[in-house]
Amino acid sequence: MPEDDVEWQLPRHPRNVGRARALLREQAAGWKLPDEVTDTAVLLLSELMTNAYRHAHVSPGREIRVRCVLGDDRRLRVSVTDADETMPTFRNPSPEDESGRGLILVTLLAETWGTEPRTDGVGKTIWFVTPPVTAPVTPAFAPSPTASAHAGSTAATSAGPPTHATPPSSRR
């Protein structure tokens, strides 16, 4: 497997959601991905791993496979494969619900995503692709936060297009 294509097989257990996040964060550091790409990919991987752990109704001992591929265009494709053939469905959670927003996050934060049945076995794969990595633009002049605060400024300075913010996660 090339260095820009990694795969991990993890037992279906709740502690492996955190392990998958740590493995991806470590790999992203090795690939020198920007923090915002890494943070988004780790959040989305966490959602897909949690879904695979909670909702895949399979025999004990079945593993969840995570695969990360860094493309030539520096887009990161992350896939999660489990042995349950049931495709995910969107929920319409109420504000009081503590779960049910995973696919909404994937839809909002990934450039694209999808699901597919496994062609070489039982189960399905859910995948997402991060938005392209762009080089940060440094403005010719940007006031220091301290100077702006002293001047009473509340306007934000933006050097480029707006980026998404990761919403706070609900307690599980």
Residue 141 inside a domain? The answer is no
- Which range of residues forms the domain containing residue 90? 5-129
Predicted confidence (pLDDT) per residue in 32-76, tens digit:
999 999 999 999 999 999 999 888 777 766 789 999 999 988 899
**Which of residues 85 and 139 earns the better pLDDT score?**
85
Residue 155 inside a domain? The answer is no
Residue 10 inside a domain? The answer is yes
Domain count, the chain: 1
Q: Is the pLDDT of residue 143 over 50?
A: no
pLDDT of residue 135: 52
Q: Is the pLDDT of residue 127 over 50?
A: yes
Residue 46 inside a domain? The answer is yes
- The residues, any chain, with a CB within 8 Å of residue 1's CB and separated by 6 or more, are 7
Spatial distance between the Cα atoms of 113 and 115, rounded to a whole number of angstroms: 7
Spatial distance between the Cα atoms of 169 and 74, rounded to a whole number of angstroms: 27
